Amino acid sequence: SNLLTSIIIITMKTAIFASLLAAVSAFAPASQKVAQTTSLSAFEEELGVQPPLGLWDPFGLLNGADQERFERLRYVEIKHGRICMLGVVGYLVNKAGIYLPGDISYGTSFESLGSGWDASFAVPVAGALQVLAFVGALELAFMKDATGENEFVGDFRNGFIDFGWDSFDAETQMAKRAIELNQGRAAQMGMLALMVHEQLGVSLIPSV
């Protein structure tokens, strides 16, 4: 049972690390224009291309990229940015001693798991399977353009949840998308830093 839990947790952490690598190439976002190009300069004015890096693609993964390729990279960047934003918040909340009430599985409370890496490996098999099932449900049914109504890559409203988005003008919408993009990038780097420093025994959190 401990082996299965370890495999599940390691797989999840590997996915987070892979997302960080993918985000490096995804700094150049997808254009909403229907076009194909082999020139990176065609995307230098797009959302997310900003000082000091500009259009940054150190691995050359965008060479010869078409519209579909751009949109795929943007989808990956936004998705994993959102995951890591939640991850950083969850990490900090647990480090502050705040946990969900109740049990993650019979006889194992959320509070008893602790925080950080140790908490990940302390999750019993039943709890890990619940997390896996929940993430799978989100992936298959909700966190995608299920209705074909999306206005841009990463728009998962699906005609259901709006939160006033349509009340914003075009300039405000672009600004908010840029904020999410940059916060997601920062969270990916932050999540990696928290994980690495914890393993090194050097906490990034004061008094921890």
Residue 30 pLDDT > 50, yes or no?
Answer: no
Q: Which has the closest alpha carbon to 150: 139, 160, 164, 138?
A: 160
Q: What is the pLDDT of residues 136-194, one digit of tens each?
A: 998 888 888 888 888 998 999 888 888 889 899 999 999 999 999 999 999 999 999 99
- State residue 146's pLDDT score: 82
Q: pLDDT tens digits for 113-126? A: 999 888 989 999 99
* 8-state DSSP, 37: -
Q: In the prediction, which pLDDT does 34 show?
A: 39
Q: How confident is the model at residue 3 (pLDDT cuts 50, 70, 90)?
A: low
Contacts of 132 (CB under 8 A, 6+ apart): 8
Omega of the bond prior to 29 within 30 degrees of 0, cis?
Answer: no
Read off the pTM: 0.76
| pLDDT at residue number 203 | 78
Q: What is the pLDDT of residue 27?
A: 46
